């Protein structure tokens, strides 16, 4: 799934003040003229770096997490909820999610946490290039997992990024605290 300006703009408006929004969004017109994956990746990195400089790391992570929560499709959430409803326990649910390849197909429980990993970067805007991108951008996937498990379990969860492919790791790795 590629980067979506509207999702980012919506998230930015929900997490920052008008001054930060205006400064960060100044370069939006440039995005439409980008023609290669490398150009797109450099632009996204610059956008995230600018946001981080203006609003701080935690706010930038929150913006990207909010983007990820918007990124997960309603039909996928509906399918995941059906899998939950037909499962006897969390382990059976995770097995069914893995079989359906929802969440990367590598989800397992360890006590009160869920460990999840991707063997490839699913973001079309960065996976097509070797351009370095801030790990803050990867918090989009944290939001994706957060939306998935909050919907399935009908309770708040916290997601932590452990490592990412775009920074040289073999897999993207996450902890979901349930």
Asked if 91 and 110 touch (Cβ cutoff 8 Å), the reply is no
**pLDDT tens per residue across span 116-158:** 998 888 887 777 777 778 889 999 999 999 999 999 999 999 9
**pLDDT tens per residue across span 52-85:** 999 999 999 999 999 999 999 999 999 999 999 9
- In this prediction, residue 51 carries a pLDDT of 96
* Phi, psi for 108 (deg, rounded to 5): -145, 155
- pLDDT, greater one: 11 or 27: 11
Asked if 48 and 56 touch (Cβ cutoff 8 Å), the reply is no
Give the CATH number, domain containing residue 47.
3.30.1380
- In this prediction, residue 2 carries a pLDDT of 62
Q: Name the CA radius of gyration of the chain, rounded.
A: 17
* Cα 126 to Cα 167: distance, rounded to the nearest angstrom: 11
In the predicted structure, residue 49 carries a pLDDT above the cut 90: yes
Asked if 127 and 136 touch (Cβ cutoff 8 Å), the reply is no
- In this prediction, residue 172 carries a pLDDT of 92
What's the structural domain count of the chain? 1
Domain, as residue range, for 13: 5-177
The mean pLDDT of the chain is 92
In the predicted structure, residue 1 carries a pLDDT above the cut 70: no
């Amino acid at each position: 799934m590629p980067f979506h300006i509207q999702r980012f703009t919506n998230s930015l408006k929900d997490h920052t003040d008008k001054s930060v929004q205006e400064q960060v969004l100044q370069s939006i017109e440039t995005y439409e003229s980008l023609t290669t994956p490398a150009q797109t990746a450099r632009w996204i990195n610059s956008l995230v770096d600018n946001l981080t400089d203006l609003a701080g790391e935690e706010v930038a992570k929150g913006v990207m997490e909010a983007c990820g929560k918007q990124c997960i499709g309603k039909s996928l959430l509906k399918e995941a909820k059906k899998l939950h409803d037909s499962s006897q326990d969390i382990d059976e649910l995770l097995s069914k999610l893995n079989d359906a390849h929802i969440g990367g197909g590598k989800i397992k429980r360890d006590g009160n946490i869920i460990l999840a990993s991707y063997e490839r970067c699913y973001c079309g805007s960065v996976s097509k290039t070797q351009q370095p991108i801030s790990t803050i951008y990867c918090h989009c996937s944290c939001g994706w997992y957060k939306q998935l498990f909050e919907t399935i379990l009908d309770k708040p969860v916290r997601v932590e990024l452990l490592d990412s492919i775009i920074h040289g790791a073999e897999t993207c790795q996450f902890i979901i605290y349930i």
